[in-house]
Chain A
Amino acid sequence: MTEWLLAAAILLAAMIAPGVVAVRGTATDGVVAVQFAGTLASLAVLAMAEGFGRQPFADLALVLAVLSFAGTLAFARFLELGR
């Protein structure tokens, strides 16, 4: 079981990369980084649900994936409109 938690920890540590990109880059870089981080977070939650043996927690991963899709669409729309 514990390799799932290790995988979740690595996925969380990998979120430093989009963080660095969002801090140092332009607004466009930020939208790309948010999109990347949303996928990473939902995969980390999925790995944690398996690692802790809590099957209902996988719902959170699904909800997070759907919400980060909507969130990225909204941010990209603002990027398109606000110059």
Chain B
Amino acid sequence: MTTDVIRQDDVVIRFAGDSGDGMQITGNQFTDTTAKVGNDLATFPDFPSEIRAPAGTRAGVSGFQIHFSSSEIFTPGDGPDVLVAMNPAALAVNIADLRPGGIVIVNTGSFTDKDLAKAKVDVNPLEDGSLKAFRVIKIDINARVIQALEDSTLTKKDVLRCKNFYTLGLMYWLFSRPMEPTLEWLAAKFENKPELIDANQKALKAGYNAGEIHEYFQGRFEVAPQQHTPKGTYRNIMGNEGLSIGLAVGAHLAGLEALLGSYPITPATDILQYLAKMKNHGVITMQMEDEIAGICSAIGGAYAGKLAITTTSGPGMALKSEALGLAVMVELPLVVVNVQRAGPSTGMPTKVEQSDLFQSVYGRNSEAPIPVIACSSPADTFACAVEACRIAVEYMTPVILLSDNYIANGSEPWKLPTMDELKPFPVKRPSAGAEPFMPYSRDEKLARPWAIPGQPGLEHRIGGLEKEDLTGYASHDADNHQKMSEYRRDKVLGVRDSIPTPQPHGADHGLLMVGWGSTFGAIRSAVEALRKDDVQVAHLHLRHIWPFPKGLDEIFARYDQILVPELNLGQLSKILQSEYPDHRFKEYDKMKGKPFTAFELREKITTMMEVAS
């Protein structure tokens, strides 16, 4: 039997099922295989904040979206072309996002009356005509898996747990992907459980063969490898992992060992978990009793000479803010990672938002300036983490590194730096001389010397009381306080001497979109699409947010309109407005716990351009 092969440039698939259905594993396996095929890709998981919401309910739906292409792409895609729905709840939650004419693959084995009731679906959508706009492929995956594994010694419950691999096999067939990487992964994963290797491999092959045999589809798709991929070595990387590697590499480049003081919090916990495995790099991880102990133990580690790190998310940042002031006062290097999540208080812990920018730039008592930098994508986390380490040790300052849930759990190929591209920034320790040691003397960057306990002759005291210039003694002198406040401000502003001016991508006049953080992909996709239609639009993305790089004023002056899309209520735009009052920054805000789609941004720009012309 021959099957038509349909060539596609670009496909978005969303796997959706109950949180116990293994959709994240399915998505990750599809991703790893697709990376090996050579497509550009971007992924984003969407899982519930409850670990085990009641099975079959809408609250328990777990999703994983992958966008892969023969061309360069920047986002996990606006909406899926193909939706895999393992139960009625997964269908109900996700169907609105499927593009008209898209394919929906439904596991009919989980559409009994009981399943429909759990999902609070009154009428079976497979029978009421509500899916007319889509191509619906109905497969009783439960029955097929039981059939394929009839010889297995596993219980029926365990047999049914293999259904995600049946689904994965089917999708491998449909998108012409090889099964070998997953077969090998299963063999390694269940090394000591041969019955599980056998069952899952059989289920995978059965799904693949079903595509071949059953003619569910009018043809299979092929998404050719990305042409013009820059030469180099790549890894598929999730944001939290890239950030962890960047921190460990930053410590190596500073010639130090890393010390992380942290407390588990979604969605930052992975970083603590990754770094806890890096013991043979000398990384110390301390899971402390609370957020405050997390940052304070890191400050104690910095005092003793480590590359100190603390990791958290917004509510944890709030708890750490007094200690951040201490780090500013004692002028010790410290990298503070905030993987932002949605909402004030507990908010929506597994959803995306970039609303901690004011907190980062301004959120401390008194004048307590701290450099702020932001990652723009899963692969960008690496370079940003290294940069945060560099600024911290070169300027003897805490640095806030912002990521968010969309970056943390999303993935994309990361072009690995060559060893030559990694520039060391070794720490220089002062040594005891004939003159008394001055712990608050300053170098040309206004950084103070970093003497550490254990160094003879440099014994000194630091602390949260205002410091006397040079000696570091506690001081309440009026003029000294003015002077020290200005030193701390000017030191942080001086960071701009060590960073490049970012350049806009696209037109050199017309409308400029200024973004920061995880909106990079959506903004870049929108600009690329509009540029194809000769729209005069450009994209400027800021990695350094405090201080801003030099030269932005000249860039802003070239454009007629400046739009600042943000997943908050206009925080960067207000900071820009206050720093660059000669220009007008228009807000475009979204607070839905979801990223921008490229489509939304295109529509917004098209409207703005029409009004302007």
User: Do A and B form a real pair?
Assistant: no
